[in-house]
Amino acid sequence: MDLRLRDTVVLVTGASRGLGAAIAVELAAEGAYVVAAARSRDGLREVEAKGDGRISAVEADMRDEAAVAGLVEKVVERHGRIDGLINNAGIAPAGKFVDQDPQVWKDTLAVNVIAPMLLAQAAGRHMIAQGGGRIVNIASTTGLRGKPVLVGYSTSKGAVIRMTEALAAEWASKNIQVNAIAPGAFVTEAQKAVLESPELLRRRVAKIPAGRMADPAELVPLACLLVSPLSSFTSGATFVVDGGEVGKL
């Protein structure tokens, strides 16, 4: 199927590894021009090298509001427009709630909520002016069901889902679609501690009806579809990709 992504322009954050890197590479393979943003210079170089000239990298720390606010302008300066935004960057510091420093929460909300808000706002201005666009927020199943020792992360992802719904309603008349994806357990560096411990891995997989963790490639097609013109009547939805885990709860 032709997703009609050729020569569209998409900004992907958290694109130096994991889900963000996989999404960026596939978008480029579909013919899009991708601006990949992340903190890791080395990771961005690897992703850029896989883009056949269609991926350009920009270093940015999502905790730096000034840097985040300027990302969209860099995309527009480079390509003349922005058709899609995928807010993928996120952090998930674990710890017992009673002992957590408030700064941990401030950093989590800065990366997981404030940065996507600033990027959506900046991208939205251009999308309204150019007649439309698509925003995809990568949330989490923990935004649907709270998780112990990830209280701050769960809170932030719940906020992202509500923002998705409200913004979709506000911008529907502007031909801007806003959706979210809530991934479950994927084989990425974020799950390194689980993947390196046979016992933790066994316990984690036991909670998933599909009986395994997912490969990033299993989320990529959905992300590409939601940022393509083919999803022009899909907005305000949160798509769960978790092997049936939330449905079992």
Catalytic residues: 153
Cα→Cα distances 139→21, 42, 49, 181, 245, Å: 16, 25, 27, 6, 15
Q: How far apart, in whole angstroms, are the C-alpha atoms of residue 221 and residue 111? A: 25
Q: How far apart, in whole angstroms, are the C-alpha atoms of residue 149 and residue 96? A: 5
Neighbour order of strands in the sheet with 238-241: 55-59, 33-38, 9-13, 84-87, 133-138, 176-183, 238-241
Cα→Cα distances 8→55, 133, 150, 156, 164, Å: 12, 10, 36, 30, 22
Q: How far apart, in whole angstroms, are the C-alpha atoms of residue 234 and residue 52? A: 30
Using DSSP's 3-state secondary structure scheme, residue 82 falls into: coil
Q: Which two tokens stand for residue 46?
A: 């690897």
Q: How far apart, in whole angstroms, are the C-alpha atoms of residue 176 and residue 128? A: 8
